[in-house]
Amino acid sequence: MTTQSGSKIAVFAAIAGNLIIAIIKFVAAALTGSSAMISEGIHSIVDTGNGCLVLLGMNRAKQPADERHPFGHGKSLYYWTHIVAVSIFGIGGGMSVYEGISHIRHVAPAAELGDPTVAYIVLAIAFIVEGGSFTVAVKQFLEAKGDRGAWQFIKESKDPSLYTVVLEDSAAMLGLIFAFIGIFLGHLFNNPYLDGVASIAIGLLLMSVAGVLVSRTKGLLLGEGVNPDELADIRRRVESDPAVESAGDILTMYMGPHDLLVNMGVRFAEGTTAEQMHEAIRRIEADLLGAYPETNRVYIEAESLPVVVAPAASGNSDLPPRT
């Protein structure tokens, strides 16, 4: 199973789970008057919409290149994921904090005297449904990250669709715990203010998740390249070609999760014929494609080529075998 198909499975599971949970939470909020339940309902609605936006970005990223977008539409996923981060911060986090503060300032008698049983049942159901979505997302996440640490994978991955779902589902699970603690302690100590505090905590949690996503999508939108180890490996591969004397600047940028652009200057060995130079370029391209399958564009510029000998003048167009 490819990373992209795994991401879609996680996104579909998150959308379905969040939509069901949102409806249940709002019904419970109407019955109990709980501020924390309202915040959780807002959270689930936002997550449902965000899942749709991520799916939209994944589909738009597949569109082929055209005259106005010669490098394709791969960055559409980065754009829509950035919108998701803004949505989590402003709508999910902002409204939850506002709801919590409003609840604390204007405590409703029903919130203090209401029976919390309905809220507990809804939270339990939500935890089970959310747990199912979370399990699917984590499974795909673990397969994608391999031996890398979770945070390292998030920092290095060029496909934000998968870890966006994992972060959202993680926040959702923690949010349910915050809501339960707020409602439970509020009724235990007959203190309705704790319900509002839980709502604020949920809002701050969402803002923290949004902060991580904004940081990552900003870098992807600006144009991230390969990591230093991969860059060193690309240089080694280029300079190991028998026709290459040295490689100059090597510039890389991900135009999409599976669309890497490589641009480099290469100094070819003195006496290299035009035909040998073209053969070397084809070898370099094939080698890079084998090592980095996401490489779709390789641009190689000859730097200060001392002498380009015509094949007829050289008498020999074959290069020595690669070592």
Q: What is the pLDDT of residues 136-149, one digit of tens each?
A: 888 888 888 888 89
pLDDT of residue 4: 59
Is residue 320's pLDDT more than 70?
no
The average confidence (pLDDT) of the chain is: 84
- Residue 164 CA to residue 81 CA, distance in Å, equals 8
| Band of residue 234 on the pLDDT scale cut at 50, 70, 90 | very high
Token couple for 278:
């073209």
Q: What average pLDDT does the segment 150-178 reach?
A: 89
Token couple for 133:
């979505």
**Parallel, antiparallel or unpaired: strands 244-256 and 295-302:** unpaired
From 2.102.10.10, 2.40.37.10, 1.20.1510.10, 3.40.50.261, which CATH number describes the 3-222 domain? 1.20.1510.10
210's torsion region: left (phi>0), alpha (psi -120 to 50) or beta?
alpha
- Whether 57 contacts 80, CB under 8 Å: yes
| Band of residue 32 on the pLDDT scale cut at 50, 70, 90 | confident
Per residue, what are the HEC states of 45-99?
Answer: HHHHHHHHHHHHHHHHCCCCCCCCCCCCCCCHHHHHHHHHHHHHHHHHHHHHHHH
pLDDT of residue 238: 95
Longest dimension (CA), the chain: 97
Q: What average pLDDT does the segment 156-174 reach?
A: 88
Lowest mean pLDDT among 30-39, 58-67, 309-318: 309-318
Lowest mean pLDDT among 6-20, 68-82, 91-105, 235-249: 6-20
pLDDT of residue 208: 94
- Whether 39 contacts 100, CB under 8 Å: yes
| Band of residue 232 on the pLDDT scale cut at 50, 70, 90 | very high
Parse the chain into domains and list their residue ranges. 3-222, 228-314
- Cβ contacts of 16 within 8 Å, gap of 6 or more: 133
pLDDT of residue 308: 45
pLDDT of residue 317: 36
In a 13 Å sphere around the CA of 269, the CA atoms on its Cβ side amount to 14
Whether the CA torsion 161, 167, 173, 179 is positive or negative: it is negative
pLDDT of residue 22: 86
Overall fold of domain 228-314:
Alpha-Beta Plaits (3.30.70)
Global pTM value: 0.78
- Residue 37 CA to residue 25 CA, distance in Å, equals 6
pLDDT of residue 318: 42
DSSP string, 271-296: T-BHHHHHHHHHHHHHHHHHH-TTEE
For residues 94 and 319, the model is more confident at: 94
For residues 87 and 315, the model is more confident at: 87
The number of beta carbons lying within 10 Å of the beta carbon of residue 139 is 13
- Selection from 23-32, 108-117, 178-187, 287-296 with the highest mean pLDDT: 287-296
Query: Where would I find the H helices in 88-159?
Result: 94-105, 109-113, 117-145, 150-156
Whether the CA torsion 162, 136, 6, 150 is positive or negative: it is positive
Q: What is the pLDDT of residues 197-216, one digit of tens each?
A: 988 999 999 999 999 999 99
Q: What letters, b where the CB count within 10 A reaches 16 and e where it falls short, cover 94-119?
A: bbbbebbbebbeeeeeebeebebebb
Q: What is the pLDDT of residues 75-110, one digit of tens each?
A: 999 999 999 999 899 888 898 898 889 888 887 555
| Band of residue 195 on the pLDDT scale cut at 50, 70, 90 | confident
SS3 192: coil
